[in-house]
Amino acid sequence: MNSTPAIRHLKPPFTADPIPAASPGLLRQVGLFDATMIVMGGIIGAGIFINPYVVAQQLHSPVLILGVWIAGGVVAILGTFIYAELASGMPEVGGQYAYLREAFHPAVGFLYGWVLLLVIEAGGMAAVTVTFARYLLELTGWRLAERTIVVLTLAALTLINCLGVRLGSRVQSILMVMKISAIATLIAAGLFLVKTPHPLWHPMLDREPSLDLITAIGGAMVPVLFAFGGWQTANFIAAEVKDPGRNLSRSLVMGVSGVIALYVGVNFVCVRTLGPQGLAETTVPATSVMRIAMGDAGARLIALGIAVSTLGFLSQSILTAPRVYFAMARDKLFFQSVAKVTERTHVPVVAIVLQSVWTLVVALSGRYEQILNYVVSMDFIFFGLTGATLFVFRRREGPTVAEGYRVPWHPFTTGLFVLVCWLVVANTIYKYPMNSLLGMSILVLGIPAYALWAAKQKTQDGKQ
């Protein structure tokens, strides 16, 4: 593998730059280790400490529970292969936004950025900020309002990321190492300190093979895939990664592989310690495992780990997502102030502040739980579309074999990933039609918004 772009030399609209340069004002300061921590930090939030019980409510045998988490990891690694090739070939700021723009149309990229800001990041970050505030207040006993902690947390992380991508990525890496340590402690406690483990390998199935079993597995896969989401955000900062053709693709594969190992380990000890029924009956599985293994001290320790985990997720989100809005503004499809980069810190400060302010509005409004209901369908629509961009780029490539990272067993693996994404969307629409309708409405509202900015861009270009 080398740093030569795999897509950049293709037919227009790709430019002919042979060396992937950073976008104007942005500097390549993120190395392989920090990039890997960003990949892992975008995936691991509070979900892995909670979601195992949601899966156990759908499936009631250890084999099925562990099986869907392994299957979710397989889907995630298939997606990672696709994004690794895209990152290798087109290491541009905005990542997924840039791939959709170049493969299909600028409107498709804009719609992704639109729902990313209004729905995907806003709902997720608001929920995680509130979760962090609640755990912090519980751990410390401080007599502060929850909203005060929310405001101070977002303000502190925003300031850190406004001071430079190097500082932001280092803080993110430190939090990620602490997060891995918390999860490793949970796994070790469940393996070595639980004296009466539940059986793991029987029964194999909790019911006869049937359509009911298939739909139950499909329902269980939704929270699993949601828990595995987030690795794609590392591609947002491609223009700030050192040697992105090599480092970004490597960090994606290593980071997601590490998360798969951690997630399967957590679910293994949850099933081993609590059993399928016990796991389904608790809404705080990680705390339950640690309490059995280490008593109240263990419960407090994992609560601290969850607080650190949520803080690390917030730090990663503030670091990565604003680069999409920066890229949109640079393309004259968003407010021009969002495209500004400070001379001293070389980061898009306005874009970072925009993300944090909107997250704060959503968090303080109390509407984040409703927005979270739209996240899965919106996210997986664009996951599927981004996977499909690889077919477009490979077709433009023609018979030429490009250098750089290549998806193994394409087009079969790529097609499987796209199919799974859209099956998730179809299942979500079927099970939650009203939530999906509201999410789709927000998406459709992005069409006139794009038309207005595109018309403004055309007018400005005509005057030049």
Q: What is the CATH number of the domain that holds 360?
A: 1.20.1740.10
Q: 338-347: buried (b, 16+ CB within 10 Å) or exposed (e) per residue?
A: bbbbeeebbb
Identify the band that residue 402 occupies on the pLDDT scale cut at 50, 70 and 90.
low
CA count, 13 A, side-chain hemisphere, 85: 25
58 falls within a domain = yes
Under a CB-based contact definition with an 8 Å cutoff, are residues 11 and 254 in contact? Answer: no
Specify the pLDDT at position 344: 83
DSSP 3-state of 237: strand
Specify the pLDDT at position 359: 93
* DSSP assigned state of 119: I
pLDDT 10s digits, 135-170? 888 888 888 999 999 999 999 999 999 988 888 888
Identify the band that residue 260 occupies on the pLDDT scale cut at 50, 70 and 90.
very high
Identify the band that residue 464 occupies on the pLDDT scale cut at 50, 70 and 90.
low
DSSP 3-state of 104: coil
> CA–CA distance from 256 to each of 48, 131, 149, 204 (Å)?
14, 24, 31, 28
C-alpha 90/C-alpha 6 separation (Å) is: 7
C-alpha 139/C-alpha 374 separation (Å) is: 31
Percent of the chain with pLDDT over 90: 43
Specify the pLDDT at position 399: 59
Give residue 369's domain range. 32-458
24 falls within a domain = no
Average pLDDT over every residue of 375-400: 87
393 falls within a domain = yes
Q: Which of 203, 204, 188, 249 is nearest to 35 (CA)?
A: 249
Identify the band that residue 20 occupies on the pLDDT scale cut at 50, 70 and 90.
very low
C-alpha 16/C-alpha 40 separation (Å) is: 32
Q: 318-334: buried (b, 16+ CB within 10 Å) or exposed (e) per residue?
A: bbbbbbbbbbbbbbbbb
Token code pair at residue 107: 């409107």
Specify the pLDDT at position 2: 34
17 falls within a domain = no
Q: At what angle do helices 165-192 and 32-43 cross, to 10 degrees?
A: 60
Under a CB-based contact definition with an 8 Å cutoff, are residues 205 and 293 in contact? Answer: no
- Identify which has the larger pLDDT, 72 or 208: 72
Average pLDDT over every residue of 365-375: 72
Considering only 173-187, 231-245, 367-381, which range has the smallest mean pLDDT? Answer: 367-381
378 falls within a domain = yes
412 falls within a domain = yes
* DSSP assigned state of 26: -
C-alpha 324/C-alpha 238 separation (Å) is: 11
Per the structure, how many domains does the chain have? 1
Our CA angle for 376, 378, 379, nearest 5°, is 65
Phi and psi, residue 141, nearest 5°: 75, 15
C-alpha 83/C-alpha 232 separation (Å) is: 7
Q: Which residue has the tokens 């639109």?
A: 114
Q: Which residue has the tokens 């400005």?
A: 460
280 falls within a domain = yes
Percent of the chain with pLDDT over 70: 91
pTM for this predicted structure:
0.86
380 falls within a domain = yes
